[in-house]
Amino acid sequence: MAKVILKKKTDASTSTLGDVKSYARKIWLAGLGAYAKVGQEGADYFQELVKAGQTVEKKGKKVVAEKLEAANAEIDDVKSEVSTFKGKVEVQLDKVEKAFDTRVASALNRIGIPSKHDVETLSAKLDELTALLERVARKS
């Protein structure tokens, strides 16, 4: 009877050990299968991400180009307005400068300081007189 009990215990532990080995092998195979599937699907997923990134990059470049073009157009408009304004300012500055020159010349004339024109006229008369005196001196 002792032999029978031992045989049953041995059969039970062999059966349990076989079940564990079988289960461990299934886990191992499931892990390999998961690794293989992830490897394949991971590569496919990576390619999808690359394509999505390229699409976003193209859209981004397009948006940046449009914004840049709009900004450049706006800058050109502002340059044109500034140029027009600059011309108007220069005209106004010329008017102010002429008015200032007229007022200063008038003020200097009132206090007896001759103008540039007066000095040039006087200088021309002096040149004439000098030339006349030289002619008279040569004749004598």
Domain that holds residue 70: 2-112
In a domain, 139, yes or no: no
For residues 25 and 83, what is the distance between their CA atoms, to the nearest angstrom? Answer: 84
What distance, in Å, lies between the first and last C-alpha atoms of the chain?
179
In a domain, 14, yes or no: yes
For residues 117 and 97, what is the distance between their CA atoms, to the nearest angstrom? Answer: 18
What is the radius of gyration, based on Cα positions, of the chain?
54
In a domain, 47, yes or no: yes
The pLDDT tens digits for 70-127 are: 999 999 999 999 988 888 889 999 999 999 988 988 888 888 888 888 889 999 999 9
In a domain, 132, yes or no: no
What pLDDT does 75 receive?
94
In a domain, 6, yes or no: yes
In a domain, 22, yes or no: yes
Do residues 37 and 44 touch, judged by C-beta distance below 8 A? Answer: no
Supply the pTM of this predicted model.
0.41
Beta strands in the chain (DSSP E): none
Tally the domains of the chain: 1
In a domain, 13, yes or no: yes
* Residue 130, number of CB atoms within 10 A of its CB: 10
In a domain, 117, yes or no: no
Token pair listed for 12: 């039970």
Give the range among 19-33, 55-69, 89-103, 121-135 with minimum mean pLDDT: 19-33
Length of the chain as a residue count = 140
The pLDDT tens digits for 36-62 are: 887 777 778 888 888 998 999 999 999
